[in-house]
A and B are shown apart, each in its own frame.
Chain A
Amino acid sequence: MSMYIEMIRVRFLMMLAYRTNYYSGILIYSINIGAYYFLWSAIYGGKEQIQGLSVAQMTTYVAVAWMARAFYYNNIDREIAAEIKDGKVAIEMIRPYNYLGMKTMQALGEGVFRLLFFSVPGMIIVALIFPVRFDASLTTWLFFFISLVFSFIVNTHINLLTGIMTFFLFNNSGLIRAKRVVIDLFSGLLLPISFYPDWAQTLMSYLPFQAISYVPSMIFTGGFVGQEIYKALLSQVFWVVILLIPIRLLWSLAKKHLIIQGG
Chain B
Amino acid sequence: MFYLSLFFQYASQYLKTRLTYRADTIIEILSDLLFQAVNLIFIVIVFRHTAFLGGWNRDEIIFIYGFFLVPYAIFSSFFNIWDFNDRYIVKGEMDRILTRPVHSLFQIILERIELESLFGAITGLLVMGYAIMNLDITLAWYDVLIFIVMVIGGAFIYAGIFISIATIGFWSDSRTDIMPMMYNISNYGRYPINIYNKVIQFVLTWILPFAFVGVYPASYFLNREEWYGYAFFTPVMGILFFGIAILLWNAGVKRYRGAGN
A: which residues have CB within 8 A of B?
21, 24-25, 27-28, 31-32, 34-35, 38-39, 41-45, 47, 50-51, 169-175, 177-178, 181-182, 184-185, 190-191, 195-197
B29 proximity list for chain A (CB < 8 A): 174
Q: Is B145 an interface residue (CB 8 A)?
A: no
**Are A173 and B187 touching (Cβ within 8 A)?**
no
**Are A182 and B34 touching (Cβ within 8 A)?**
yes
B28 proximity list for chain A (CB < 8 A): 173-174, 177
Sampled A-B contacts (9; CB under 8 Å) = A21-B175, A28-B177, A31-B185, A32-B184, A35-B188, A170-B24, A171-B21, A172-B27, A177-B35
**Are A39 and B34 touching (Cβ within 8 A)?**
no
Q: Is B42 an interface residue (CB 8 A)?
A: yes
**Are A174 and B27 touching (Cβ within 8 A)?**
yes
Q: Is B52 an interface residue (CB 8 A)?
A: yes
Q: Is B53 an interface residue (CB 8 A)?
A: yes
Q: Is B41 an interface residue (CB 8 A)?
A: yes
A195 proximity list for chain B (CB < 8 A): 45-46, 48-49
**Are A171 and B42 touching (Cβ within 8 A)?**
no
Interface SS majority for chain A? helix
- If A50-B49, A51-B49, A175-B31 touch, does A31 touch B177 (CB 8 Å cutoff)? no
Interface SS majority for chain B? helix
- If A185-B38, A195-B45, A197-B48 touch, does A175 touch B177 (CB 8 Å cutoff)? no
**Are A31 and B38 touching (Cβ within 8 A)?**
no
B191 proximity list for chain A (CB < 8 A): 39, 42
- CB within 8 Å of A: which B18-61 residues: 21, 23-31, 34-35, 38, 41-42, 45-46, 48-50, 52-54
Q: In the assembly, what is the distance between CA of A175 and CA of B32, in Å?
A: 11
**Are A191 and B46 touching (Cβ within 8 A)?**
yes
Question: 7 new A-B pairs (CB below 8 Å) besides A31-B184, A170-B24?
Answer: A35-B188, A42-B54, A45-B50, A174-B24, A175-B27, A178-B31, A191-B42
Closest to B20 in A: A171
Closest to A40 in B: B46
B25 proximity list for chain A (CB < 8 A): 174
Q: In the assembly, what is the distance between CA of A38 and CA of B30, in Å?
A: 30
Q: In the assembly, what is the distance between CA of A234 and CA of B113, in Å?
A: 47
Q: Is B5 an interface residue (CB 8 A)?
A: no
Cβ distance A229 to chain B, nearest Cβ, rounded Å: 24
Would you give the 0/1 interface string for B181-203, flagging 1 where the beta carbon is closer than 8 Å to chain A?
Answer: 10011011001100111001000
**Are B195 and A170 touching (Cβ within 8 A)?**
no
Cβ distance B49 to chain A, nearest Cβ, rounded Å: 5
> Could you say which of B27, B41, B178, B197 contacts A185, with CB atoms under 8 Å apart?
B41
